[in-house]
Chains A and B, each alone.
Chain A
Amino acid sequence: MTSRLIQQFERGLAAPICLTWELTYACNLACVHCLSSSGRRDPGELTTMECEAVIGTLQRMQVFYVNIGGGEPTVRPDFWHLVDYSTAHRVGVKFSTNGVRIDAAVARRLAASNYVDVQISLDGATADVNDAVRGPGSHEMALRAMAHLKAAGFRGFKLSVVVTRHNVAQLNMFKKLADDHDAQLRLTRLRPSGRGADVWHELHPTAEQQRELYDWLCTQGEQVLTGDSFFHLSPYGGPLPGLNLCGAGRVVCLIDPVGDVYACPFAIHENFLAGSVRQPGGFEAVWRDAPLFASLRQPQTGGACRSCGFYDSCRGGCMAAKFFTGLPLDGPDPECAQGHGEAALAAVDTSSRPRPEGDHSHRRVPVTIGRRPPQRACDENPLA
């Protein structure tokens, strides 16, 4: 990637390259690190018709594909309709799922489409490591979905792993698991976003583990995808494959289940809210005109990082990771490869850390003797 092209990207594009669209906050799981604090459906979620209108806009803007997530998007009753509607309008779909709805018939249907890609989330190669983060039974559920996709002949679906302190030793196991299922491994960074803010400090890889991860990624080249997650590690020895820049509001953004548009999927907070697809002009106007996006497309100063010799390679790292750990946006990333993040984190007054917004977590029902049963089964579980 030439630096001239990078500069162009930093000034923003006519439409996003990578658009994440979270279709629902409903989820059958309750992963401890969920970026969107999902669990319960939001009553204000976009209707089927509103979703179709968004897809029409994306087609006009030539957004080549959307990354659909949630929550667990497949629990939306109109999910398969929206996938078909999108691909029929030349907007490809890549969706992330925990596998709950991927049975043999669905897998065959997915394998038959050129325009749909599937990403199975799994955060431990073994059930003990995975289920500690994603909940009991979630490892088995993901493996069952992967087996169905393989049996249906779906080649190259993605096995998506958030790298944590506890699974970083399993990288080769994940790779083998992906290979065994004709899938491609995708590793992404643990962000302190959503419920992740509560567990990041205990779960994020140590400095030594980050170095191991970087070295391992270097041996894999383009065989292992990273969603451009680890550009903050470039100072260890050079850029990993990818754009290697923070694309927030420039080449990526997020549409959340109620139609709010945020600069990136890891920044659900009013400071990064650019607008709504429900406002006049819809998504196109937000992408083009939102003052927040205009400011993100301005040259960044680099702040405290400007004097660092590695600023050109890491560009100060991830905005969301800094924000939710209480660090200044123009200072080092909390996982700065030069170690500047640790010192900065130690100086943060933890009571002043911004809190992620929009908590849709399942309500924890206090266990009391003789408590009343839930009024409706779906008060507790969106799949009921």
Chain B
Amino acid sequence: MSTEFDLDRPWRLDERVAIRPEPFGALLYHFGTRRLSFLKNHTVLTVVRALADQPSARAACRHAGVGEGELPAYANALAALADSNMIHERTVA
């Protein structure tokens, strides 16, 4: 079900997704699929917000202070967001 997530590719948030910060992390809502997702802490929120400006998902994680050992957990979280079309691979110009 969950696809392999490529941390070394550049990613971006879907333009139809809105983010609402919450005490536990954030809520994501996709206006196209009308689906809700949850970001379960503030670090993953920082990662998601940094995606568009960083050359890769790995760089976005590093930017947010994610340690090497935590990377697999964050890759899983990003894979789930990719599966629900909340984030997409971005093509680099």
**In whole angstroms, what is the CA distance A98 to B72 when docked?**
49
Given contacts A65-B34, A92-B34, 16 further A-B contacts (CB under 8 A): A8-B23, A8-B24, A11-B23, A13-B27, A14-B20, A14-B21, A14-B22, A17-B27, A62-B18, A62-B20, A64-B20, A64-B36, A92-B29, A114-B16, A114-B32, A115-B31
CB pair B31 A114 closer than 8 Å: yes
Residues of chain A lying within 8 A (CB to CB) of residue B18: 62, 64, 90
B38's contact among A5, A15, A65, A117, by CB below 8 Å, is which?
A5
Question: Does B63 count as interface, using CB distance less than 8 angstroms?
Answer: no
Residues of chain B lying within 8 A (CB to CB) of residue A92: 29, 31, 34
Residues of chain A lying within 8 A (CB to CB) of residue B20: 14-15, 62, 64
| Interface size counted on chain A using CB atoms at 8 A | 18
Between A and B, 16 residue pairs with Cβ closer than 8 Å are A5-B24, A5-B40, A8-B22, A11-B23, A14-B20, A14-B21, A15-B20, A17-B36, A64-B18, A64-B29, A65-B29, A65-B34, A90-B18, A92-B29, A94-B34, A117-B34
B40's contact among A2, A65, A114, A117, by CB below 8 Å, is which?
A2
Residues of chain A lying within 8 A (CB to CB) of residue B34: 65, 92, 94, 117
Q: Digit string of B20-51 for contact with A (CB within 8 Å is 1, else 0)?
A: 11111001010110101010100000000000
Q: Name the residue on A nearest B20 (C-beta).
A: A62
**In whole angstroms, what is the CA distance A17 to B34 when docked?**
12
Q: How far is the CB of A111 from chain B (nearest CB, A)?
A: 14
Q: Name the residue on A nearest B32 (C-beta).
A: A114
Give the A-binding residues of B (Cβ under 8 A).
16, 18, 20-24, 27, 29, 31-32, 34, 36, 38, 40
**In whole angstroms, what is the CA distance A364 to B43 when docked?**
60
Q: Name the residue on B nearest A11 (C-beta).
A: B23
Q: How far is the CB of A81 from chain B (nearest CB, A)?
A: 20
Residues A236-262 near B (CB distance < 8 A): none
Residues of chain A lying within 8 A (CB to CB) of residue B22: 8, 13-14
Residues of chain A lying within 8 A (CB to CB) of residue B32: 114
Q: How far is the CB of B26 from chain A (nearest CB, A)?
A: 10
Q: Digit string of A87-98 for contact with B (CB within 8 Å is 1, else 0)?
A: 000101010000
Residues A58-109 near B (CB distance < 8 A): 62, 64-65, 90, 92, 94
**In whole angstroms, what is the CA distance A4 to B38 when docked?**
12
Residues of chain A lying within 8 A (CB to CB) of residue B24: 4-5, 8
Residues A9-44 near B (CB distance < 8 A): 11, 13-15, 17
Q: Name the residue on B nearest A12 (C-beta).
A: B23
**In whole angstroms, what is the CA distance A74 to B38 when docked?**
33
**In whole angstroms, what is the CA distance A2 to B39 when docked?**
12
Q: Name the residue on B nearest A156 (C-beta).
A: B34
Q: How far is the CB of A379 from chain B (nearest CB, A)?
A: 39
Residues of chain A lying within 8 A (CB to CB) of residue B40: 2, 4-5
Q: Name the residue on B nearest A14 (C-beta).
A: B22
Residues of chain B lying within 8 A (CB to CB) of residue A117: 34
Q: Name the residue on A nearest B33 (C-beta).
A: A156
Q: Which of A11, A14, A64, A117 has the most CB of B within 10 A?
A: A64
Residues of chain B lying within 8 A (CB to CB) of residue A64: 18, 20, 27, 29, 31, 36
Nearest 5 CB-CB pairings of A with B: A64-B29, A8-B24, A62-B20, A14-B22, A13-B22
Q: Name the residue on A nearest B23 (C-beta).
A: A8
Residues of chain A lying within 8 A (CB to CB) of residue B36: 17, 64
Q: Name the residue on B nearest A9 (C-beta).
A: B24
**In whole angstroms, what is the CA distance A334 to B65 when docked?**
50
**In whole angstroms, what is the CA distance A301 to B27 when docked?**
28
Q: Digit string of A336-378 for contact with B (CB within 8 Å is 1, else 0)?
A: 0000000000000000000000000000000000000000000
Q: Digit string of A110-153 for contact with B (CB within 8 Å is 1, else 0)?
A: 00001101000000000000000000000000000000000000
Q: How far is the CB of A10 from chain B (nearest CB, A)?
A: 11
**In whole angstroms, what is the CA distance A15 to B20 when docked?**
9
Q: How far is the CB of A12 from chain B (nearest CB, A)?
A: 9
Q: How far is the CB of A86 from chain B (nearest CB, A)?
A: 12
